[in-house]
Every structure is written in C-alpha cells, then in structure tokens.
C-alpha cells in the first residue's frame, strides 16, 4: 500500500484503542472494530429521514424488544454507514418487519439463519451499492455497512449474541453482512421490484431470511433446459430438505439470464420449469431418512420415526414422485454479478409454503 498520500489525523491512538476496547467489553460489536457514536454524528443520521426517532420499525414480541429509528441510527453509525445510507437501513428494517419468520425467532435458530437484502432502483447508483461483480464479497462500503447495521441491531437491540440468544450451531458468513443490488442494467427482464408492483424509479429493499448461498458452476452450456436442470438439482439436494417443501432465490449472472431470454424464456417460464422438475423419488428420500413428515413441525424425517406422518405426495396418484416445491412462486429470480463467467447461485431462503400471494417483504426507500 502506498503511504505517501495518506495523511494521519491528529488523534491519540491510545484513546482510539480505549474506545474500541470499551465497545468490545460491552459486547456492542460483531467482533470487528466499530465507529464510536456521538450525539452530533447520530444527528446526521436522524436528519436523513423524516421519521420520529422513537418510532418502532420492528419488534420481536417474545423478546419484548423493539427496534426504533434512533436505535437503528445508532447501529448504522456503529457499522460505518454514511448518513445518506440510513434511509436504506430504515427501509430494510421495515421490510424485515413484513417478513413472517424473524418475529417468531428464526434468527435464534440452530440452523444459522441470517437476514439477506436485495436493493433495486436508483439507490444502487446513488450509494454505490455493488450489483456487478463479487456481490457477496468485500470491497463496497454500502453493501458491507448496510448489512452490518442490521447485524449490529440484532446484537445490540435484540441480544442475538452467539452462545446466548443466538443458538446457531455453525452459522454462516452472511451473519456479518448480506446485501446485494440487482444488476438491472444487464438484465434482460424487468427488475425484481417492478415485478413485485413497484415503479422502476422507486428505490426498494427486499428482505429474505437465508441459510446459505450455493454457487452453481455452469460454464459448459447455454441450453436453457440444461442450465435450469443444474439449478433444479442444487435446489433439490437432500441436505436442503428441512420442511415438506423448500424455497429458493435464484441469483443469475447476466450471462445466464441472457441465455434464457435469448431462448425465449421469461422469469415465469424458468420458475415453472424449476417447479415442475423439482422432484425426488420416494426411495431417494427414504435413503436419507426424509420420506415422511413430523406431525408437530412438518419437518422431514423417516417413516419409522414415532412422530412421523405421510407427506402430501403420499395421498396422490403418484406417491413415489415427491414434489419439493409447493408452488412456482417458491422460486424467486434476480440478476446480479458480472458477466465474465457462467457462475450463478442458489440462495436457500425461508418462505411460507405455500408462499404468500401478496408481494414479498419489500419496502420503498423514503428520503427527506
């Protein structure tokens, strides 16, 4: 790193270290350094939105704790956000509030779930939210700090700390931050937020609850059926089958999206194809002990289990051909990443099954 152009600020390094130790000692961080928050800095964040600072954005009733605008601003500042990012953070918390799972304790799950945000519209360019390469990686302040603002809020407001209220067995890297923009400019289809009923000029945040991101190496073909079957196989891997049905967010690189579009496929065509082919045989499910359901939770387990009951497919004309998606809308599609290689991803998400017919947990970003 070149040092000649770096101007060191006139601060006491000892005081900086002491401030960081103070935050760490109080468990106010995610393990990484944070930005100390003063009232003047907090005021810049609150000035970026036209909201009462005591307004509740999201609550977890069983914890009896609320995320207010002021608390959201404190954690956004701690995370290293710029004040101009704060309207997106507020929209993110409101989108999370619409999502049916977190309020029921999903973020405390042993599965290791985490919030995942997709940003559409002008805010992507205005705030330099990355949508065009290394979308899950480092290097973009907006992506990193907006997602981190949510994680720090989970820790500091809701007490979701590892080994305490957060009971994740292994967790996943998105527990630090998980924010992507949709690469609308290189998508052959309408943007995700327009598909959900928003105007193209709206900046929108959509919230998901995810378990993992699975990369799909598909450089070998541009045949739409072959590409789609690669996605199907990844969605239907038995290790992903927790409940009777599963759900997925397909994050397609522009190269793959264009291949589908060039073949005349719409998003709905791709969803329908995946839905129709997302099946496993009864024997394949039995081999891994997932050929029945729990009476209490409807999680998959073995027929021999004392709590077992038949799954829905058992009562059909083809009981040995088990559908793993409840509806085509169990598969959602966005376009993001670079067009330099055929590598897309399947994001394993939690949705209601059957999915809700109204739009997903999406909120328009509002600024002053």
pLDDT in tens, 51-95: 999 999 999 999 999 999 999 999 999 999 999 999 999 999 999
Residue 5: is its pLDDT beyond 70? no
| Inside any domain, residue 294 | no
Q: Is the dihedral of CA 311, 235, 266, 210 positive or negative?
A: positive
Share of the chain above pLDDT 70, in %: 96
Residue 16: is its pLDDT beyond 60? yes
Helices (H), 187-331: 192-195, 224-235, 254-262, 267-277, 282-287
Cβ atoms 92, 55 nearer than 8 A: no
* Residue 180 lies in domain: 15-278+324-364
Peptide bond into 354 cis (omega under 30): yes
**Is residue 92 packed enough to be buried (19+ CB in 10 Å), middle (13-18) or exposed (0-12)?**
buried
pLDDT value of position 358: 66
Beta bridge partners of residue 212, listed in sequence order: 348
Span 228-232, mean pLDDT?
A: 96
**Sheet strands (E) in 121-272:** 179-181, 204-217, 248-252
Span 335-353, mean pLDDT?
A: 92
Who has greater pLDDT, 359 or 149? 149
Q: What is the mean pLDDT of the chain?
A: 93
Predicted TM-score of the model (pTM)? 0.94
Residue 170: is its pLDDT beyond 90? yes
- Residue closest to 281 by CA, chosen among 272, 290, 273, 293: 290
pLDDT value of position 160: 94
Who has greater pLDDT, 364 or 341? 364
pLDDT value of position 269: 98
Span 344-364, mean pLDDT?
A: 85
pLDDT value of position 48: 98
| Inside any domain, residue 315 | no
Residue 291: is its pLDDT beyond 60? yes
Per-residue pLDDT reduced to its tens digit, 114-167: 999 999 999 999 999 999 999 999 999 999 999 999 999 999 999 999 999 999
Helices (H), 278-360: 282-287
| Inside any domain, residue 310 | no
| Inside any domain, residue 89 | yes
Counting the structural domains of the chain, the total is: 1
**Is residue 253 packed enough to be buried (19+ CB in 10 Å), middle (13-18) or exposed (0-12)?**
buried
| Inside any domain, residue 301 | no
Element of type H or E holding 168: none
Residue 2: is its pLDDT beyond 80? no
Cβ atoms 33, 47 nearer than 8 A: no
pLDDT value of position 156: 97
| Inside any domain, residue 347 | yes
| Inside any domain, residue 302 | no
Phi/psi-derived region of residue 360, left when phi > 0, alpha when psi is between -120 and 50, beta in every other case: beta
| Inside any domain, residue 289 | no
């Amino acid at each position: 790193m070149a040092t000649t152009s770096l101007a060191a600020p006139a601060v006491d390094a000892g005081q900086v270290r002491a401030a960081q130790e103070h935050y760490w000692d109080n468990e106010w961080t995610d393990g990484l350094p944070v930005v100390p928050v003063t009232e003047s800095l907090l005021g810049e964040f609150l000035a970026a939105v036209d909201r009462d600072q005591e307004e509740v954005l999201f609550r977890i009733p069983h914890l009896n704790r609320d995320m207010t605008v002021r608390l959201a601003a404190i954690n956004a500042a701690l995370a290293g956000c710029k004040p101009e990012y704060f309207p997106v953070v507020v929209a993110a918390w409101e989108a999370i509030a619409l999502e049916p799972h977190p309020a029921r304790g999903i973020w405390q799950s042993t599965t290791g779930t985490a919030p995942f945000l997709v940003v559409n519209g002008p805010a992507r360019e205005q705030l330099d939210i990355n949508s065009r390469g290394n979308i899950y990686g480092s290097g973009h302040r907006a992506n990193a700090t907006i997602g981190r603002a949510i994680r720090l809020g989970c820790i500091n407001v809701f007490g979701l700390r590892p080994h305490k209220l957060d009971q994740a067995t292994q967790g996943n890297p998105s527990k630090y931050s998980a924010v992507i923009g949709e690469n609308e400019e290189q998508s052959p289809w309408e943007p995700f937020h327009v598909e959900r009923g928003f105007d193209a000029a709206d900046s929108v945040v959509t919230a998901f609850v995810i378990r993992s991101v699975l990369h799909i190496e598909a450089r070998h073909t541009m045949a739409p059926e072959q590409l789609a079957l690669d996605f199907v196989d990844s969605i239907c891997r038995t290790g992903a089958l927790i409940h009777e049905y599963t759900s997925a967010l397909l994050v397609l690189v522009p190269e793959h999206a264009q291949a589908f579009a060039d073949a005349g496929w719409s998003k709905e065509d791709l969803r329908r194809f995946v839905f129709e082919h997302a099946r496993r045989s009864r024997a394949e499910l039995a081999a891994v002990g997932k050929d029945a359901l729990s009476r209490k939770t409807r999680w998959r387990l073995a027929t021999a289990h004392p709590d077992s009951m038949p799954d829905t497919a058992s009562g059909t004309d083809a009981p040995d051909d088990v559908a793993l998606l409840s509806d085509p809308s169990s598969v959602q599609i966005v376009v993001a990443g670079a067009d330099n290689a055929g590598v897309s991803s399947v994001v394993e998400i939690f949705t209601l099954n059957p999915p809700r017919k109204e739009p997903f947990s999406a909120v328009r970003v509002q600024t002053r």
